[in-house]
Structure 1
Amino acid sequence: MASTLLLYGATGYSGRLIAAELKHRQAVQPGAFSIVLAGRNAQPLIELANALGTAYCVLDLEDGQAQVRRVIGEHEATVIINAAGPFARTADRLAKAAIALGCHYVDINGEADVYRKVDDNGTEASAANVALVCGAGFWAAASNLLLDAALQALALPENTELGAIRIAMSRIKTFSRGSAETVWESLRQQVLVVRKGRNERDAVDRLVLRHEPVGKLERRFNFGDTRPTKVDDWRIASAANLVDTLAAQRTVEHRRRMVRTIESYVEAGRLARAAYQLGGWLAPLVANRTVRTLAQQPIELLAAGPTKKEREAEPHLIVLEIEDCLHNTLIDWRWKTPNVYQFTAQLAVGVAVRLGTGARLKGFLTPAQVLAATEVMQYPGAGTLRNCLLERRRGT
């Protein structure tokens, strides 16, 4: 029996890209699944559904859990894909609805607080044989797949202690409105990092979350994607409050490793770095409701997101560095990916299709527990992996 993938937030910027990717995958796998587009506003939803030839349903989360479950239940959804931000308002509601209905839940959330809140539903989801995959878009998923592949490639004994895992993303030049809002919100949050800690009661080492002031941590990373490396390929990135850090922690624990530190970084130009370093001073101001309302106005004037031409002209690079406890480099990988918004659609659909077409998985999962980096690298536009450490050893 074909599964049903219900996409909530289908008429938003990322939602439309995901809807188009679903149709593409449906053509590649005919009969494997049906598509239902969902959202609050009927007219744009009907127009999109007619254009793509899919079913649709009007769904407003403000109508309450009973109504939400009734509407989703009528369409017998196998997987709910949530593309509607702010995810602080939608993720937990839809995750709880999915658990109650016995269907899987996937979202493209990039907010750390939301990630942890969805994680809190993991035990209940596991009992209901439901999988929850939060952060299945570019943020979290891409670096998570890369890290999981790296930990397997190292082939180290279980519980081997590593020194550091650092994830870095190249600069995003063209933002969607939703991404701009997330960046603005991040200015009033401290940066989450993972550190090795010890529980004094049972003397067991664990990975624990710590907070660092915004703008405190900066490093140079090699963002070059050609050989040989040039001097200007080494650019500064600032530590950021990314879900990638939380997903990395879960993957390290899943692979039974220990690491002293996990940090995530984003490349930034001089002006962006200066603004970010002022984040600690700006935090009380950003938290003010009046200031936030005023700041929202220019964000709303932005285009919904980059055009197709802009997406094609702006691929991205993920850097993964892993060191041992003596600061020796074990992994130095570069992955050139499609534009973050296009890759988000490909990754989210890949996770949803896998869950909806027979994968027997349950509980709160990272994207790497559903997909493998090797298969994702076969997606259109997904670049090859560069092993820069191996290149240096060979002198290339």
Structure 2
Amino acid sequence: MSNNTIAVYGASGFQGALVLAELDRRGGTVILAGRDAEKLESAAAQANLTDAEVRVATVDDGAALVAAFRGADAVINCAGPFTPTGARVVDAAVAAGAHYVDTCGEQLFLHEIYRTRSAAAESAGVTVVPAATDGGVPGDLLARLIADRLGPLAELTSVHRFGGDAAMSRGSIRTMLGVADTMADGGVAYLDGAWRPGPFDQLAPVILPGGTEPVAVGSFPLQEAVSVPRHTSIRNVRGAVEESTRALFATPLTDDMIEALPMGPTAAQRAAGTWTIVLDVVAVDGRRARGVIEGTDTYGTTASIAVEAARRLVADPPAAGVLAPAQAFDPADFLAALTPHGVRWSIDID
């Protein structure tokens, strides 16, 4: 891909540092943006980006945000939690004429951006792809590939599973606490052709890859429920995780407890952590399929996905507006680009 200029907002955070490292590996011009100049300069030095420009802007200063993104071809927003402030960063990127991706996993924020920011992005001639993460992109792309083989779909249930030493960063923990109510009631699901809020009926237990017995799963606010219906003819989409994972997210933590934790998992912990997305699909004609996509190092994979997405938007812009991953990118080609990062996928049709 050709040279590009990418601004990273929240560049001094844990996820931001991994994005910077990936950008350094891939080449191009980087702008570090955030609220603290000293932390940004330290992040640039650690990422071997000492020549990169540092621009200070807080999320409550819209003019400064727009100025921070001026001249960038794309913005990667790593500054969570996104629900209270992320829309301001989207608006600033659009106003600056830059494409936008983020590392958000907050379902209601994503749903809001899809519903409310497309007209502005279209008018500006830029593309917004929220949730450019391991949880937001692979499952959406795989769902599109399954639909291409089966035709119109009746049901899709997405189950996200985390294994190994799946340690979380402080930022992720704060984000989860901030959307605890949404996680408890399941967020939104796509039912009978419309998005509806939870709580939802109990899901049936599922046999997951490598298992022999069904495990209990519960409704969970996943990205596929808000993205897949935007590009695929389907009646119902629901998201779920194992009940044991839901209980983990519900564990109460105080600010002091979070501050006492490391900023994020170590490289060894990241490498040991695994993630799996299982898509169980029923077509309108009754045929069934299961798609499975899996990898390791959720934070490192997210960095690779966010950078890949931003660079593709710059090199070969799709239609302007707020797009789901499968609307913005060729699904098979994007997934192939993730293979060197240890991402594997398969589709089995009954």
The bucket for the TM-score relative to the shorter chain is: 0.7 to 0.9
Partner deviation per Cα, 1:136-160 (whole Å, 9 max, x = no partner) = 1122212111111111122x2xxx3
Tell me whether 1:258 sits opposite 2:234 in the alignment.
Answer: yes
2:158 to 135, 142, 167: 167
* Structure 1 residue 63, shift from structure 2 partner: 5.5
Give, in whole Å, the separation in 1 of the partners of 2:117 and 2:296. 32
What corresponds to 1:381 in structure 2? 341
* Structure 1 residue 274, shift from structure 2 partner: 5.3
Give, in whole Å, the separation in 2 of the partners of 1:183 and 1:66. 29
Larger CA deviation: 173-182 vs 95-104: 173-182
- Equivalent pairs counted in the alignment come to 339
- Normalising by structure 2, we get a TM-score of 0.88
Letter in 2 for 1:208: A
* Structure 1 residue 297, shift from structure 2 partner: 2.9
> Alpha carbons of 1:378 and 1:297: their partners in 2 closer, same or farther (altered >3 Å)?
same
What corresponds to 1:211 in structure 2? 197
Give, in whole Å, the separation in 2 of the partners of 1:98 and 1:12. 19
* Structure 1 residue 112, shift from structure 2 partner: 2.0
Q: Alignment partner of 1:266: what SS?
A: strand
Q: Percent identity?
A: 26
Larger Rg, first or second structure (1 or 2): 1
Q: Alignment partner of 2:206: what SS?
A: strand
Give, in whole Å, the separation in 2 of the partners of 1:181 and 1:123. 31
Letter in 2 for 1:381: H
Tell me whether 1:236 sits opposite 2:216 in the alignment.
Answer: yes
1:123 to 95, 119, 126: 119
Partner deviation per Cα, 1:142-179 (whole Å, 9 max, x = no partner) = 2111111111122x2xxx3x321011111353222222
What corresponds to 1:57 in structure 2? 54
What corresponds to 2:271 in structure 1? 312
RMSD, aligned CA: 2.5
Give, in whole Å, the separation in 2 of the partners of 1:209 and 1:66. 34
What corresponds to 2:134 in structure 1? 138
> Alpha carbons of 1:235 and 1:129: their partners in 2 closer, same or farther (altered >3 Å)?
same
Letter in 2 for 1:70: A
Give, in whole Å, the separation in 2 of the partners of 1:105 and 1:383. 24
Give, in whole Å, the separation in 2 of the partners of 1:303 and 1:236. 31
Pairwise mapping of residues 58-73 of structure 1 onto structure 2 (< 5 A)?
A: 58-62=55-59, 64-73=61-70
Give, in whole Å, the separation in 2 of the partners of 1:99 and 1:383. 31
Larger CA deviation: 60-69 vs 242-251: 60-69
What corresponds to 1:180 in structure 2? 173
Pairwise mapping of residues 219-368 of structure 1 onto structure 2 (< 5 A)?
A: 219-225=204-210, 230-232=211-213, 234-252=214-232, 257-259=233-235, 261-269=236-244, 272-273=245-246, 295-325=254-284, 328-368=286-326
Partner deviation per Cα, 1:90-115 (whole Å, 9 max, x = no partner) = 32112111222211111111112211
* Structure 1 residue 340, shift from structure 2 partner: 1.7
Indicate conservation of the 8 Å contact 1:91/1:118, yes or no. no
Letter in 1 for 2:63: A
What corresponds to 2:79 in structure 1? 84
* Structure 1 residue 273, shift from structure 2 partner: 4.8
* Structure 1 residue 360, shift from structure 2 partner: 4.1
Q: Alignment partner of 1:148: what SS?
A: helix
Indicate conservation of the 8 Å contact 2:138/2:293, yes or no. no
Give, in whole Å, the separation in 2 of the partners of 1:352 and 1:65. 22
> Alpha carbons of 1:314 and 1:71: their partners in 2 closer, same or farther (altered >3 Å)?
closer
Letter in 1 for 2:144: D
* Structure 1 residue 325, shift from structure 2 partner: 4.7
Give, in whole Å, the separation in 2 of the partners of 1:324 and 1:62. 44
* Structure 1 residue 266, shift from structure 2 partner: 1.4
Q: Alignment partner of 2:196: what SS?
A: strand
> Alpha carbons of 1:63 and 1:386: their partners in 2 closer, same or farther (altered >3 Å)?
closer
Give, in whole Å, the separation in 1 of the partners of 2:313 and 2:84. 24
Q: Alignment partner of 2:216: what SS?
A: strand
Letter in 1 for 2:283: D
